[in-house]
Structure 1
Amino acid sequence: MDLQELIDRAEITDAITRYTLAVDDGDWDALDTVFAPDATIDYSESGGAVGAFPEVKKWLAEMLPAFSSRRLHTVGQVAITFNEEGADVVAYFDNPMVIADGQGGERIVEVGGRYRHFFVRTPRGWRSRHLHEEVFWTRGF
C-alpha cells in the first residue's frame, strides 16, 4: 500500500464520519461535503426515500426531526476496494434513535446494517456518488 492509498482511505473514512455526524446533528448542509451533487441515495430498506441527493437531503431534513435530536450512529468495519472509477466502500452501522412513544414518554428504535457507498475523487475530495443503506435488523419500531 502506497502513501496515496493511505491518504485516500483516510479521506473516505473521514467522509463517512462526516455523514454520520451530519445526520446525527441535523446539519443537513454538511452532507454536501459527503455526497457528489449528482449522487443517488437509497434508504428503501428502512422505509425511507430513494432518489437524487438534493431530494433525499430535503427528505432527511423533514423526516428525521421526528426522532428528536438524540441520534447516535456508530460505524465500523470499513472496507474500501479501489477500482478505475473510484472506490466501493462497505461500512457496518448501528443507528439508535429516540422517538416519542405516543404516551408522553420516549422509546429507542434502532437500525443496523451496512452502508454501501460508491466514492469518486472530485476536485473537492472524495465524495459518495451512491449510497445504499442495507438493513440487516431493526428494533423497537
Structure 2
Amino acid sequence: MLSQQEISDRFEIQDLVFRYAELIDSKQIQDLRDQVFCEDAHIDYSAVGGSVGNVDETIAFLEGALTSELFPASQHLNANIQVSVDGDTAQGRVMCFNPMEMAMPDGGSTVYFLGLWYVDEYRRTPAGWRIASRREEKSWVFNAPDFMQL
C-alpha cells in the first residue's frame, strides 16, 4: 500500500511532467530552468536528433530549434506515467505522443508525429520535485519530412 507521502509525491511528479509539456508547447523555454529542471540536470534529446547537455545547453538548443517560425504548433501529450519514489529521489518512464506542425520551404506547412518515451530521474528540492535527468527514447516517427534526420 502506498503511503500518503508517496501518493502526494507521485501527483507532484505527474504535474511536473505536464508542466514541462506546457512550457515546451507554449515556447516558454526559459521557465524550464526554474520550474522543471534541477540546476545540475542532464538532458539527452539525441534519440530524435537533439542536443545532449546541461540546462543551459538544453535551453539554448530548444530556443533555437522550437521557434514559432519553424514550428508554429506542437503538443506533447504525456501518458502511461510510471514513477518509482525512493525518499527524495524518483525514477520515471513517461510516454509522449508528439504532433508537430512544421513550416515548409514552399511556404506551406506539414504535420508529423513522434512517439517517444522520457526516461527520467527526479529529485525533491526546496522548490519541489524537479527533473534531474531526462533521456528520450524514440519509439516511432510518422510523416516526417524527408530532409529530417529522425
Same fold (TM over 0.5): yes
Please list the CA deviations of residues 104-133 of structure 1 after superposition, one character each: whole Å capped at 9, or x if unmatched: 211012211111110011111111100001
Q: What runs of 5+ residues in structure 1 fail to find an aligned partner?
A: none
2-side partners of 1:61 and 1:94: how far apart?
A: 21
Q: Which residue of 1 aligns with 2:53?
A: 51
**Residue 77 (str. 1) matches residue 112 (str. 2):** no
- The alignment of Structure 1 onto Structure 2 pairs a total of residues equal to 141
Larger mean Cα displacement after TM superposition, 64-73 or 115-124? 64-73
1-side partners of 2:12 and 2:85: how far apart?
A: 13
CA contact (8 A) 2:81 2:95 kept: yes
TM-score with structure 2 setting the length:
0.89
Following superposition, the deviation at residue 85 of structure 1 comes to 5.9
Q: Which residue of 1 aligns with 2:140?
A: 137
**Residue 120 (str. 1) matches residue 148 (str. 2):** no
TM-score with structure 1 setting the length:
0.94
**3-state SS of 2:73 partner:** coil
CA RMSD of aligned residues (A): 1.3
**3-state SS of 2:30 partner:** helix
Q: Which residue of 2 aligns with 1:16?
A: 17
Alpha-carbon distance change, 56 to 26 in structure 1, aligned in 2, over 3 angstroms: same
Report % sequence identity.
32
Between Structure 1 and Structure 2, the one with more helix by share is 1
Q: What runs of 5+ residues in structure 2 fail to find an aligned partner?
A: 145-150
Please list the CA deviations of residues 38-90 of structure 1 after superposition, one character each: whole Å capped at 9, or x if unmatched: 00100001000000111111110111115423111110000001235611111
Q: Which runs of 4+ in 1 moved over 2 A?
A: 66-69
Within 5 Å, which residues of 2 pair with 1:37-116?
Answer: 37-65=39-67, 66-83=69-86, 86-116=89-119
Letter in 1 for 2:125: T
Larger mean Cα displacement after TM superposition, 83-92 or 34-43? 83-92
CA contact (8 A) 2:72 2:102 kept: no
